[in-house]
Amino acid sequence: MMDWTDRHCRVFHRHITRHTWLYTEMVTTGALVYGDVERHLRYDGVEHPVALQLGGSDPADLAKSAKLGEQWGYDEINLNCGCPSERVQKGAFGACLMGEPQLVADCVKAMRDAVSIDVTVKHRIGIDYNEEYGFVRDFIGTIADAGCKTFIVHARNAVLKGLSPKENREIPPLRYEVAYQLKREFPELEIIINGGIKTDEEIALHLQHVDGVMLGREAYHNPWVMANWDRRFYGDADAPLKTRVQVLEAMVPYIGEQLRLYGQHGLKLNSITRHMLGIMSGLPGARAFRQLLSDPKMLAGADPALLLQAAARMPVAA
């Protein structure tokens, strides 16, 4: 989800669901230890609960980065052990870390010693073509011994050589039963399943076997899938039943303020509105909505009201 779930995207998603946990895009330890901390960790208070996802493999650097995340007010620190991209592999982190469970355990322990908030791990169920259950079982067992209690399980293998990140999301088969088995074997751990899940009905089915469900690309491309989660999955009977247009209306003042604060630093209208292109997905007129929000001439005006102009073109109430 690199370059997708940035702070603007998360504010938008928070206006759809107020209880769902949101995760940052992966932030490398190098960016925090040696780079612009404010640029990478800045977020809006409305985003809570929000987790900072880190990429790295050096325990000391991860501890420093986790501490920064806690100081900035994040609610959870998540270590990425699932990204299969070559760029991430060259940095010796992401999915390749699954081949070094003791190193991951050392990283988790260093972070847990540095912060008081939860430290969690997101990972695959195997690397390359090793589909033995014992591989992921032993990985989780080693990390759990270091104190990690929550594991987000992308239920596919990560093929480190020969497949692109996109192919790694499509070609290795989904094996949800592996995550289910992990929950049975480690009942004391929180097991959250991820990968290929798109509907509330699928979420409800998985929740019969595991503790939680994570959606990535589906929540991004079809954000309205989250509209009923507060009521259905968090038991919040008082959660407001918003319309899509009401969500867009709530974003207009936020966009105006962000452009005022950061426009001189290069922030453009489409840097925020690009995350909202899918909110009308499945409705008549959704294509015209996307086209208007993607029109360079219209975007050049830097007017947040463009969101409402686009919504007004919808032939049915949204």
Respond yes or no: is residue 107 known to be catalytic. Answer: no
Q: Which of 83, 96, 107, 148 is catalytic?
A: 83
Q: Which pair of structure tokens corresponds to residue 123?
A: 């990972």
Considering only CA atoms, give the Rg of the chain. 20
DSSP-assigned letter for residue 47: G
Decide: helix, strand or coil at residue 153.
strand
Helix axes 244-262, 7-14, angle to 10 degrees: 150
Buried b (16+ CB within 10 A) or exposed e, 191-214: bbbbbbbeebeebeebeebbebbb
Q: Which pair of structure tokens corresponds to residue 240?
A: 């407001």
Residue with tokens 């992990």: 182
Helix axes 59-71, 101-114, angle to 10 degrees: 40
Catalytic residues: 83
